[in-house]
């Protein structure tokens, strides 16, 4: 039996899934937590990776491994392979002013989108490099190479890194990445498939080594240490890996409801949106992944559940006691600012409060409706760029909530499928590891947990649109 492993190094934790290469059957799993915060010492990810591998029973019998990780994070390395400063993560919004400056210097959002498929916001790596240049100029001058979280982990797994703690030393030319993660930097073009070093220098103040971009089936190399003699795949950004894990194809739109929310589709051609609403990313399978992201998703339900002093099961029960539209109560859920629309300093607002509408059930339902309406706006944005949504795949922890499933069938206009809960990012990495090992993309089955009947209620989205701030 040939075994492969997929790694999901997310914002909150590291997860390892070991699967049988032929059937995709899960053999064992492991996980370990990551530290909190929006800036993290990357060595914490490496420690968590080793702990998760140990929790999964080790990888001595695994033939191939691949890493999927949180996108956009800035890992700045000096010439000796040392991390210059703690990595700034995707959800660190301090670089919002730098995003505006970069857009202006390039000639506006349309020009930037034409060059990279994206319009910079605080999430993207280029803006974080400009922040480093502005706020910590001495650190910026030390930067010899820039990597993303999955790039850096893949490099370290192959035995490269600082001289004192690696087998092969700081060979920066051995850094690798893939199309999906490179497309989230704002200095790589999905259309041309090349890095834009002029944009990198505009952000950082000078040129630097960037990881070599591998094809989806390519091998980064062979592992060392705990990963010795193991084929290491190209890796991917987390959303692209999730699409691969779900085996999403053209016509599928994935809606992921985690701490943050994402809407993405697999398309044969690149999408360029000068407004910046849709990020024109690449996928992990050789195609493209237009994506809309929101900062506020399941955390909206967490917040209102705490306010009402209930658990998630009771919040679901309360929400289903109210009628669609929450009797006119509308929650605009920008609790932590927002990425789409690009409002990093925004706060949440509650509209339509009357004596009749301000009840526990209507507030519970308004929370679910507001969260889903923000994601539905993302689906509409993707469709405006020619993407045909034939079905919506609803994933993430909140997707299993019965009230979320019921209300989603009323908010969205397309058929909804809820796959069986799984570690789809790690599963996508495991598929990629199999692809690197065997030369063919595996076709593993994806089980379905629910298919709620369509019950579209236009009033929900109409109310939300009437209050929405863009």
Condensed to tens digits (0 to 9), the pLDDT of residues 385-412 reads: 999 899 999 999 899 999 999 999 999 9
Tell me the DSSP string of 61-92: TEEEEEEEE-SS-BEEE-TTS-BSSPEEPTT-
Torsion angles phi and psi, residue 99, rounded to 5: -60, -45
Model confidence, pTM? 0.92
Q: What is the pLDDT of residues 68-98, one digit of tens each?
A: 999 999 999 999 999 999 999 998 989 999 9
Per annotation, catalytic residue among 8, 151, 196, 238: 238
* Confidence bin at 463 (pLDDT 50/70/90): very high
Kindly list the distances between the CA atom of residue 195 and the CA atoms of 123, 184, 212, in Å, as whole numbers in the listed order: 18, 11, 9
Q: What is the pLDDT of residues 319-357, one digit of tens each?
A: 999 999 999 999 999 998 887 888 888 999 999 999 999
- What is the predicted pLDDT for the residue at 336? 86
Structure tokens at 37: 């915060």
Torsion sign (Cα): 85, 91, 92, 93:
positive
Structure tokens at 17: 């899934």
- What is the predicted pLDDT for the residue at 449? 94
Spatial separation of the C-alpha atoms in residues 394 and 380, rounded to whole Å: 16
238 catalytically annotated: yes
Determine contact, residues 238/7, Cβ cutoff 8 Å: no
Spatial separation of the C-alpha atoms in residues 468 and 464, rounded to whole Å: 6
- What is the predicted pLDDT for the residue at 295? 87
- DSSP-derived letter for residue 452 is P
Q: What is the pLDDT of residues 424-439, one digit of tens each?
A: 999 999 999 999 999 9
Q: What is the pLDDT of residues 107-160, one digit of tens each?
A: 999 999 999 999 999 999 999 999 999 999 999 999 999 999 999 999 999 999
For the chain, how big is the Rg over CA atoms in Å? 22
Determine contact, residues 74/129, Cβ cutoff 8 Å: yes
Q: Is the preceding omega at residue 101 within 30 degrees of 0, hence cis?
A: no
Would the pLDDT of 470 be above 80?
no
* Confidence bin at 374 (pLDDT 50/70/90): very high
Determine contact, residues 416/405, Cβ cutoff 8 Å: yes
CA dihedral 248, 252, 257, 260 (to 10 degrees): 80
Would the pLDDT of 3 be above 80?
yes
């Amino acid at each position: 039996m040939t075994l492969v492993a997929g790694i999901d190094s997310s914002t909150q934790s590291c997860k390892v899934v070991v699967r049988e290469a032929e059937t995709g059957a899960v053999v064992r799993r492991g996980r370990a937590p990551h530290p909190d915060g929006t800036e993290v010492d990357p060595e914490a990810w490496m420690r968590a990776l080793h702990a998760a591998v140990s929790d999964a029973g080790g990888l001595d019998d695994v033939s191939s491994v691949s890493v999927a990780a949180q996108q956009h994070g800035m890992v700045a390395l000096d010439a000796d392979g040392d991390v210059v400063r703690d990595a700034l993560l995707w959800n660190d919004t301090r670089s919002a002013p730098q995003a505006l400056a970069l857009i202006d210097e390039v000639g506006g959002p349309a020009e930037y989108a034409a060059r990279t498929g994206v319009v910079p916001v605080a999430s993207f790596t280029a803006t974080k490099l400009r922040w480093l240049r502005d706020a910590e100029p001495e650190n910026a001058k030390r930067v010899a190479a820039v990597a993303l979280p999955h790039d850096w982990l893949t490099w370290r797994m192959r035995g490269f890194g600082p001289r004192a703690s690696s087998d092969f030393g700081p060979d920066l030319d051995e850094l690798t990445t893939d199309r999906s993660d490179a497309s989230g930097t704002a200095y790589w073009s999905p259309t041309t498939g090349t890095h834009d070093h002029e944009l990198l220098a505009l952000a950082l103040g000078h040129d630097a080594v960037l990881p070599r971009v591998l094809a989806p089936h390519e091998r980064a190399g062979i592992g060392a240490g705990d990963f010795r003699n193991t084929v290491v795949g190209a890796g991917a950004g987390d959303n692209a890996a999730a699409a691969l894990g779900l085996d999403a194809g053209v016509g599928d739109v994935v809606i992921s409801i985690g701490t943050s929310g994402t809407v993405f589709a697999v398309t044969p051609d690149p999408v360029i949106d000068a407004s910046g609403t849709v990020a024109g990313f690449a996928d992990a399978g050789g195609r493209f992944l237009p994506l809309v992201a929101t900062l506020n998703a399941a955390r909206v339900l967490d917040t209102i559940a705490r306010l009402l002093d209930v658990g998630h099961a009771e919040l679901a029960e309360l929400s289903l006691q109210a009628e669609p539209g929450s009797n006119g109560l509308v929650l605009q859920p920008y609790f932590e600012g927002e990425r789409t629309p690009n409002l990093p300093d925004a706060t949440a607002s509650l509209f339509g409060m009357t004596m009749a509408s301000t009840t526990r059930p209507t507030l519970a339902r308004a929370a679910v409706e507001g969260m889903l309406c923000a994601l539905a706006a993302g689906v509409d944005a993707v469709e405006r760029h020619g993407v045909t949504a034939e079905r919506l795949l609803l994933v993430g922890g909140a997707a299993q909530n019965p009230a979320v499933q019921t209300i989603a069938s009323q908010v969205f206009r397309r058929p909804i499928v809820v796959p069986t809960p799984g570690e789809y990012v790690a599963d996508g990495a495991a598929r990629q590891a199999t692809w690197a090992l065997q030369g063919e993309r595996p076709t593993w089955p994806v089980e379905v947990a629910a298919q709620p009947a369509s019950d579209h209620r236009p009033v929900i989205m109409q109310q939300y649109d009437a209050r929405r701030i863009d």
